[in-house]
Amino acid sequence: MNIPTFVFKKTSSTQIVSKRHATSWKRQQPHSYFSPGYHSEFVPAPNTVGNMALLPLRTKFRGPAPMNMDLEKDIIDEALYLFKSLIFFRQYELKCYVSQWIFISLLLFQSEADRVLVYLILYILECLRKLQKCPNRTIGAKELAAMAISRFDIPGDPDFPRELNNMYAKPRNSTEMEIMRGYLTQLRQELGVRLLERVYCDDNSPPSKWWLCFGKRRFMDQTLTPLGVF
């Protein structure tokens, strides 16, 4: 999958247009406001938990998500691939007739799979913040493995970021709450393993500065945990 090329189109406001998606979006948007083409390809979702897609994963970690080691690509691959592009969304000047925050929210949450993608982007940031203090992959693996299974907030919890709570549906009952927590744990475990392969060349090499430099950033001005916790 090639990264879409973005160009600036001079209108009454700054707009960022994906060449690959501009034609189809132009037919749909009456005022010519376009969304960048960074949405999940995993639609429609076969199953959901809350309003997140419950997608198959190429993983050995057990959980609610179907395990399929033959998958060529899954949502975690997609998140890692798009991370360095999506992380800059907060700097884009998107203008609309509604508030900027609502417009960004509408762009990013086109599907249940997009909600999973956004959660993974936010969790990658958590991992990078943790890895800033890990001089090699062995220590980093221990830290990320522990963080993946540690107690964390899910949609509906009081300490889950308020703005995100408005976009994610909370579990309807205790059974769905267990499924959601298990699914997010499964995603966190597998993402941590794959991220380590990108951040560290080998077990003895220091982490890549080209990844760690993103650790202090925010995505949509949000973080899963407050900055300064680690």
CATH of residue 166: 1.10.1760.10
Average pLDDT over residues 110-116: 83
Q: How large is the angle between the packed helices 174-199 and 137-149, nearest 10 degrees?
A: 170
Least confident of 9-23, 80-94, 121-135, 167-181: 9-23
Provide the pLDDT confidence category of residue 76 given band limits of 50, 70 and 90. Answer: very high
Instruction: Indicate the residue type of 139.
Output: I
Average pLDDT over residues 92-107: 39
Q: Is the pLDDT of residue 12 over 50?
A: no
Q: Coil, strand, or helix at residue 104?
A: helix
By DSSP bridging, strand 48-49 and strand 14-18 are: unpaired
Asked if residue 78 belongs to a domain, the reply is yes
Q: Is the pLDDT of residue 110 over 90?
A: no
Provide the pLDDT confidence category of residue 86 given band limits of 50, 70 and 90. Answer: confident
Tracing tokens 């419950």 back to the chain, one arrives at 54
Q: Is the pLDDT of residue 162 over 70?
A: yes
Asked if residue 154 belongs to a domain, the reply is yes
* Separation between Cα atoms, residue 89 and residue 69, nearest integer Å: 32
Number of compact structural domains in the chain: 1
Asked if residue 102 belongs to a domain, the reply is no
Q: Coil, strand, or helix at residue 222?
A: strand
Of residues 15 and 50, more confidence is placed in 50
Check: pTM over 0.85? Answer yes or no.
no
* Separation between Cα atoms, residue 215 and residue 226, nearest integer Å: 12
Asked if residue 71 belongs to a domain, the reply is yes
Domain of residue 150: give its range.
44-91+112-212
Asked if residue 23 belongs to a domain, the reply is no
- Looking at residue 211, its pLDDT comes to 92
Q: Which residues pair with 17 in a beta bridge?
A: 7
* Separation between Cα atoms, residue 79 and residue 77, nearest integer Å: 6
Cβ atoms 143, 130 nearer than 8 A: yes
Asked if residue 24 belongs to a domain, the reply is no
Asked if residue 98 belongs to a domain, the reply is no
Q: Is the pLDDT of residue 147 over 90?
A: yes
Say what percent of the chain tops pLDDT 70. 72
